[in-house]
Homo-oligomer: A and B are copies of this chain.
Amino acid sequence: MKRTLAQEAAKKIGKEVIIKGWVHTVRSHGKIAFTDILDRSGLIQVVGSDSTAEKITSLSQQDAVEIKGIVKERGERYINEDLATGKIEIEASEINIIANSETVPFDMGGKDLTLELPTLLDHRALTLKHPKVQMIFKIQASLADEFREAAKKLNCTEIFVPTIAAGATEGGAEVFKVDYYGHEAFMTQSPQLYKQIMVGVFERVFTIAKAYRAEPSVTTRHLAEATQMDIEIGFIESFEELLDALEFVGCEMIKNTSEKYPEILDAFGIEKPLISSAVPRLTLREAQDIVTKRTGRDLSGELDLNPDDEKEICDWAKEEKNSDFVTITHFPTKKRAFYTMPDSKDPEYSLSYDLLFRGLEILSGSQRINDYSQLVDAMKTKDVDPKNFGTYLMAFKFGMPPEGGFSFGLERLTMKLLGLGNVREASLFPRDMERVDERFSKIQKEEDQ
């Protein structure tokens, strides 16, 4: 008999089925016992009596099982509205363990998995199996998919770019060094330089790529290895064309994912995102003026928005413009990477932008310098050695049109959409200075013994 998924069982009332999955909970009442089984489609309740009740009672959480039984409608008073399969259950006739589980170190059968972050990560191969944790990564998969769909609608071609490079993308010390056949090389801090080269090839490109930052501290929003979703567009007619593109992609991802998984947003207590027909746009200075008016904080002389400012300006956008998004433009040239195009009308400020969503920056980008000499000068100003960027610079020698682009952090976007407290919760296997899967302190301790 072919396996039936939990979600398909409702269509087979009265029929015999085989389901497979993991034991989520066991509830024994003597001669009758229940187990909730989790498979890739969701949870389903199984009931056993007498010998199958005994068998159910002997099951452990996370045992992988195969159960044969009849699909039955539950009585009116036993319907579980919280469960997609809550109107049915399987009356078991045969229960086989496919793979035994060790005793789990904490209850995996609750609606939530309330563990401290270090415990959650120390047991990652187990904790990821919890339905509430799984939801985070279903949202993540959807965001990535919707990103690609939106990029394709913008006529972008997908590219696969390298992560080992001869120079550090944006300069600075926060890079991981690789021993590359005896030569020194670096893990790229972003796909930035390669996607720019590819504008000279396909005009419009996108990539989902790894970005490596040797962050010297542990914060709630940074990962040592993150996933970036990048777009770059050439032959632009104006700076505004870039803003249109980034807002289109940002809104598509959030809107379509929210509509696809309303039950996950519900489970995390998240309201449906407010997406207005036009995302409000402010220059940094306009945004600072609004924050000052609303809070009295003096931001003159500030070169960026701090996290409190970002929250405040998002509150403004929600209250005044009915939007959970707000685009901030024209950050100071000296605060942005070397390839950022200064605003010709006021070169101290640049044709750059961030997209904020519910109080957090989820996207960053700019129009780029597309003239070779201006680019080399900009590198030198920022102490980036052109010598390490030969292939990158070559692209600007052969007719690079006006262009720009942007980049979303996939984990950060996932975190923000679900209101998680730490970006590590939105990374399957987060890398930071304290751990690569296992904590260094733990490994060290074992080695010392």
> Residues of A with Cβ closer than 8 Å to B?
3, 20-23, 39-40, 62-64, 98-102, 104, 123-126, 128-129, 134, 137-138, 140-141, 144-145, 155, 157-166, 176-181, 183, 185, 187, 194, 197-198, 200-204, 208, 210, 212, 214, 224-225, 227, 235, 237, 370-371, 387, 390-392, 394-395, 397-402, 410, 427-429, 431, 433, 436-438, 440, 443, 446
Contacts and interface: CB of A to CB of B under 8 A. Distances in A.
B159 A401 contact: no
A153 to B, nearest CB: 14
Nearest to A101: B399
Contacts of A212: 164
Nearest to A371: B99
Contacts of A370: 99
Contact of A224 (B164, B225, B397): B164
Nearest to A155: B40
Contacts of A177: 178-179
Nearest to A183: B440
B163 A235 contact: no
A101 B397 contact: yes
A159 B208 CA distance: 12
A235 B361 CA distance: 40
Contact of A125 (B64, B123, B392): B392
B200 A124 contact: no
Contacts of A399: 22-23, 62-64, 98-101
Contacts of A126: 394-395, 397-398
Given A155-B40, A227-B160, A235-B3, A402 B201 contact: no
Contact of A176 (B141, B178, B194, B201): B178
21 contacts: A20-B401, A22-B399, A40-B203, A98-B402, A104-B398, A125-B398, A126-B398, A141-B157, A141-B159, A159-B428, A160-B227, A160-B427, A160-B428, A161-B429, A164-B176, A164-B431, A164-B436, A181-B433, A194-B429, A391-B429, A391-B438
Nearest to A159: B428
A99 B370 CA distance: 8
Contacts of A144: 158, 160
Contact of A181 (B134, B162, B214, B391): B214
A403 B357 CA distance: 40
A394 B208 CA distance: 29
Nearest to A126: B398
A214 B124 CA distance: 29
For the complex of A and B, 5 pairs with smallest distance between CB atoms:
A64-B399, A125-B394, A391-B437, A125-B395, A40-B203
A430 B176 CA distance: 20
Contact of A225 (B129, B164, B398, B443): B164
Q: Which of A198, A237, A429, A433: most chain B CB closer than 10 A?
A: A429
Nearest to A203: B40
B165 A436 contact: yes
A443 B181 CA distance: 15
Nearest to A434: B181
A176 B166 contact: no
Contact of A185 (B39, B398, B436): B436
A315 to B, nearest CB: 31
Contacts of A443: 166
B390 A235 contact: no
A21 B214 CA distance: 39
A436 B140 CA distance: 32
A203 B39 contact: yes
Contacts of A433: 181
Given A394-B123, A399-B62, A158 B181 contact: no
A162 B225 contact: yes
Nearest to A2: B237
A446 B327 CA distance: 45
A373 B391 CA distance: 50
B183 A436 contact: yes
A99 B410 CA distance: 34
Given A98-B399, A128-B197, 4 more contacts: A64-B400, A125-B200, A126-B397, A144-B160
